[in-house]
């Protein structure tokens, strides 16, 4: 997804996400934070930080965490800056413009790297995972939150029509642009299954790896640890 497409919906991105996920995106972020188990003084990098929701969730949950949020869309980062300032978190969260495939950090720079709803958008997923692994310190955790198709047949039969026909229309109305949500639908349907993502994490070097389905499997939390 081109950064310009995100720029089109930056101002209404949060509202659309809350409504389209039936407000479950907030619960998913809380679960991500709990599973990451941040410790005081650790360094966290949030890739594809967008409007900063994941970085903010971590900052509020762990006051002594050092947080960097990185995104390729300058318009999304503007919204993130405004939100952080409004919540008096601008001194806690450093927001930078950058590419998740060419991270401007040295090896072992962070104890936690997160990416929420962004792995689908990377033009080279394997390279992105290698970059995450590179900047993680030994013992560091990669946490990946991503949309997915339910594995349960009944849940899938309800979710797929919603994804294909309802989400693009409602998202377009709420965000003021339909194309990004048509892309969202297509990218979810073509995203690899859970076993493939675990295999890719394992191939990069993560041990152990695992996943947890959220809300009947419409989202999935993946994780891997750098030995």
| Binding site, annotated residues for S-adenosyl-L-methionine | 51, 71, 99-100
Element (H, E) at 122: none
Measure the CA–CA gap between 13 and 77, rounded to whole angstroms: 12
Q: Exposed, middle or buried: residue 137 (CB in 10 Å: 0-12, 13-18, 19+)? A: middle
**Residues annotated as binding site?**
51, 71, 99-100
Beta strands in the chain, from DSSP E residues, in sequence order: 43-47, 66-71, 93-97, 110-116, 136-147, 209-214, 219-225
Find out whether 31 and 221 touch, Cβ atoms under 8 Å. Answer: yes
What is the token pair recorded at 188? 């979810």
Find out whether 222 and 138 touch, Cβ atoms under 8 Å. Answer: no
Find out whether 77 and 95 touch, Cβ atoms under 8 Å. Answer: yes
DSSP annotation of 103 reads -
- Closest listed residue to residue 49, CA positions, set 130, 128, 117: 117
CA angle 12, 13, 14 (to 5 degrees): 95
DSSP annotation of 193 reads P
């Amino acid at each position: 997804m081109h950064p310009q497409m995100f720029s089109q919906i930056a101002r209404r991105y949060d509202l659309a996400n809350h409504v389209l996920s039936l407000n479950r995106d907030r619960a998913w972020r809380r679960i991500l934070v709990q599973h990451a188990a941040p410790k005081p003084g650790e360094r966290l990098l949030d890739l594809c930080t967008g409007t900063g929701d994941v970085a903010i969730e971590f900052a509020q949950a762990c006051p002594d965490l050092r947080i960097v949020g990185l995104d390729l869309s300058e318009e999304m980062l503007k919204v993130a800056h405004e939100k952080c300032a409004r919540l008096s978190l601008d001194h806690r969260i450093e927001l930078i413009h950058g590419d998740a495939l060419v991270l401007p950090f040295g090896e072992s720079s962070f104890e936690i790297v997160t990416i929420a709803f962004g792995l689908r958008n990377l033009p080279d997923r394997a390279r992105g995972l290698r970059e995450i692994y590179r900047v993680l310190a030994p013992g560091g955790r990669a946490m990946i939150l991503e949309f997915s198709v339910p594995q349960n047949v009944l849940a899938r039969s309800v979710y797929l029509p919603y994804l294909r026909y309802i989400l693009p229309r409602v998202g377009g109305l709420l965000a003021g642009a339909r194309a990004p949500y048509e892309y969202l639908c297509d990218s979810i349907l073509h995203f690899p299954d859970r076993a493939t993502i675990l295999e890719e994490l394992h191939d990069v070097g993560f041990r152990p790896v695992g996943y947890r389905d959220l809300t009947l499997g419409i989202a999935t939390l993946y994780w891997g640890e750098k030995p």
